[in-house]
Amino acid sequence: MLVSAKEMLNKAKAGKYAVGQFNINNLEWTKAILLTAQELNSPVILGVSEGAGKYMCGYKTVVGMVNGMIEELGITVPVALHLDHGSYEGAKKCIEAGFSSVMFDGSHYPIEENVAKTKELVETCNKLGLSLEAEVGAIGGEEDGVIGGGEVADPKECKMIADLGVTMLAAGIGNIHGKYPENWAGLSFDTLADISALTGDMPLVLHGGTGIPADMIKKAISLGVSKINVNTECQLSFAAATRKYVEEGKDLQGKGFDPRKLLAPGFEAIKETVKEKMELFGSIGKA
Catalytically active residues are 84
Pick from 101, 118, 232, 273: which binds ligand 13P (CB under 6 A)? 232
Give the whole-angstrom CA distance, residue 100 versus residue 131: 7
- Quote the least distance from Cβ 234 to ligand 13P, whole Å: 8
**C-alpha to C-alpha distances, 189 to 175, 210, 224, nearest whole angstrom:** 11, 18, 11
Q: Interface mask (CB under 6 A) for ligand 13P, residues 161-180, using x and -?
A: ----------------xx--
Closer by beta carbon to ligand 13P, 100 or else 232: 232
Give the whole-angstrom CA distance, residue 6 versus residue 227: 11
- Quote the least distance from Cβ 259 to ligand 13P, whole Å: 25
Per CB under 6 A, 209 contacts ligand 13P: yes
User: For residues 74 and 102, is the Cβ–Cβ distance under 8 A?
Assistant: no
The single-letter DSSP state of residue 141 is E
- Binders of ligand 13P in range 9-28 (CB under 6 A): 23
Per CB under 6 A, 86 contacts ligand 13P: no
For ligand 13P, which stretch binds (CB under 6 A), given 62-70, 110-118, 150-158, 202-210? Answer: 202-210
The alpha-helical segments, DSSP class H, found in 16-141 are: 27-39, 50-55, 59-72, 88-97, 111-128
26-55 burial, b for 16+ CB within 10 Å, e for fewer? eebbbbbbbbbbbebebbbbbbbbbebbee
- Binders of ligand 13P in range 25-84 (CB under 6 A): 47, 84
Binding residues vs ligand 13P (CB under 6 A): 23, 47, 84-85, 177-178, 207-210, 229-233
